[in-house]
Each structure stands twice: as structure tokens, then as C-alpha cells.
Structure 1
Amino acid sequence: MTDAEAQLYNDLAALGIVYEVYEHPAVFTVAESSQHNDAIPGAHTKNFFLKDKAGKYFLVTVPADARVDLKALPAAIGCGRVSFGKAEDMEHLIGVTPGSVTALAIMNDSAGEVGFVLDASLMEAELINCHPLRNTATLGLAPDDLVRAVTFWRHPPFIRAIPIMESV
């Protein structure tokens, strides 16, 4: 366990947040994680580390099966055109690498350079599943507890209806 993961668990305990951790083989994509999802209750997520044209970074968490409309996203979250952030910026700002991106990584942004956006539909879930800063486990916690945790880390979420592309 890394120091950051230990701090994550310490913070959750200090906040009185109840969670469940499920260990599994490393997963790098939503497709890879889907084979474990049946055994893990709650809403499964995917995350986007984005940068807008003004240089502002965003960590966006949506349901795992959502096809986000990246062209419509800026209007929903109040920023300029977005593109994917670079892996080295991700590692520097939120302390994770591609394949391990998680809403919980916002705890590593002590400088407040990354805005956290949570899809509003996830607030209706019984549990939200996130990686605990590594892609070999899934941590499930209540939506209100996720909001409390990220707010504790000085990143109150922008809870927005994220635009989704129609399935064809």
C-alpha cells in the first residue's frame, strides 16, 4: 500500500465514511473491469482527465457505460473546448497514471489546480465504485460520502448532468 492510499483510508476513517474494498487483477479499461463488476455492487465509473483551452484541468467521473459527448461537455461544466490531459500532468497533479484514474485521486491535488466534476446520475446510485488510487482494487462508497470526502480535500464537486452521446 502506498502512502497516498494509506492517507486515503485514514481520511475516510476520520470522516466516519463506511466503504468496501474489492481486490481484483489489474484493469486498465472499462472493458477489462466489466468482467469483475457483477461481483461488486453499485455504480461503476470511468474518469476523464481533461484540460480546457485556457489551461484549466478537470477530473470528470461518469457511469462506466456512458459515452460522453466531449464537444458538448464544456457548456455543461462551464469551460472552453477540452482535450485529454497529458499522462505526465495527470501524474504530477493527481498522482495516478492512465489506467488508475479515479475520483479519489483528487485528494492528491493539494494545489487546487484540478476541478472535480461528478455526473449527476451517480448521485442516485446506492454506491459509487472508484479505484483506491490503484487499478487492482475497487472501493465502493455512498454518493454523499464521496461528496463529503472530496469536499474535505478542498474539491467540492461540480455535480452536473454530463452530456451523453446517443447509442447507434
Structure 2
Amino acid sequence: MSSIFIDPQIYTGRPASAEGRLDKEMAVYDLLDKLEIPFTRVDHEVAMTIEDCQGVDQLLGIEICKNLVLCNTQKTKFYLLLMPGDKQFKTKDLSKQIGSSRLSFAPAEYMEKLLNVTPGSATVMALMNDLENQVQLIIDEDVTAQEEFGCHPCINTSSLKMKTADVLQKFLPAVHHEAIFVKL
């Protein structure tokens, strides 16, 4: 097993205690509980990249999504792209489908301001922090084809597994976000 794990234990639901946890992480668990979305969780060392998450994928039996926060050149339009971790991101393929040219990675300060996450912690769960709907969610259709969905709870020291249908049908409506579906 990967050395990323402090304790390679799979837990059902939220941590027993909030001690040592960030408020934004606990807020994710609160919302998932309120929406009655069951999930399993594993805690681990900081996982900044998809490569870091490979052991997590194996332990949870899923493929954690690649989560990219993007923006246009003027930094007036922001996007959260979810795509399979093993797919290569090509800006031109996405730009064509969403009608926005010159996409680039959003600077860290915009990730924090709009989603309350830092680089390496981007996640669909962060849309709960985008109260003004400034970030457009974009999902590669291959992500929706998977029965189960993996993501971080707004911090990259834990990973969650839940039903993809729960994310699409319960979580997104609750946080008032709609996805644009693309094929990359």
C-alpha cells in the first residue's frame, strides 16, 4: 500500500471528532449528512496530485477525479472541471465545447476567494462555498458514467467515495449549481 496513508482504514461517514479538522472539511460532512448522502472516507497525508491519489483510489476502489479550476484570460469567468484522473487535459478541446478561448489555470487567490480551497484541494464539494455562483461546473461525461465518485472534502488530507447519482441529483441542486457536460 502507498506510503501516503497514516492509517489505511476506511471509515463510514464523518470523523468521530472535529479535533484537528478544518471547519470547511466539517462543513462538507454536515451538508452530506443533511442531504442524506452516504459516503466512505479515508484519511491520508497531503495528496496534491492525481499520482498522489493512486493509493487512495486502490483503497476506496474508485478513480478520484482530476479537479481543475480554470479561468479566462480576463479572470472574469471561472470553471471547475471534473475529469477522469488518467485523461490528459487539452485546453483547446474544452474551449471549443464551452465557447471560451484562452483558458488557463486559475491563480490560487481566486480558488481561495471563490471556493475556499487551496491548490491540490479543488473538489466539487467546494461549490458549497460559491454562494454567488461565480464558478461554472464542467463535467466530462466519463465521470458521470462511473457509478461511484471520489473527491476530497475541501482539504487534500481526506478522500471520500459516494454514489455519482447522489452528487448529481442531491448535492448539486442543494448548492444551486448546474453542470455543463462535455466529452474530452
- Report the secondary structure of 1:71's partner residue: helix
- Pairing 1:46–2:46 present: no
The count of residues paired between Structure 1 and Structure 2 equals: 162
| Mapping 1:120-131, distance limit 5 Å | 120-131=141-152
Aligned to 1:146: 167
- Higher Cα Rg, which structure: 2
| Deviation (angstroms), 1:80 | 2.8
Which of 13, 23, 27 aligns to 1:7? It is 27
User: Which structure 2 residues correspond to residues 62-141 of structure 1 after superposition, within 5 A?
Assistant: 62-141=83-162
**CA deviation after TM superposition for structure 1 residue 2, in Å:** 2.3
Give, in whole Å, the separation in 2 of the partners of 1:8 and 1:27: 18
Letter matched to residue 18 of structure 1: P
Per chain length, whose mean CA-contact separation is higher, i.e. which structure has more relative contact order (CA < 8 Å, sep 6+)? 1
**How does the TM-score come out when normalised to structure 2?**
0.82
Q: Secondary structure of the equivalent of 2:59?
A: coil
Deviation at 1:151, TM superposition (A): 2.2
Aligned residue in 2 for 1:157: 179
Determine if contact 1:20/1:139 at 8 Å carries over to the other structure.
Answer: yes
Q: Do the aligned partners of 2:147 and 2:165 also contact (CA within 8 Å) in 1?
A: no
* Aligned counterparts of 1:36 and 1:128: Cα–Cα separation in 2: 13
| 8 Å CA contact 2:42, 2:56 repeated in 1 | no
Indicate the percent of aligned positions where both proteins have the same amino acid: 30
Looking at structure 1, the residues matched to 172 and 79 of structure 2 have their Cα atoms a distance apart, in angstroms, of 14
1:28 Cα offset (Å)? 0.8
The 1:145–1:116 alpha-carbon spacing in structure 2 relative to 1, beyond 3 Å, is same
Paired letter, 2:26: A
RMSD over aligned Cα atoms: 1.4
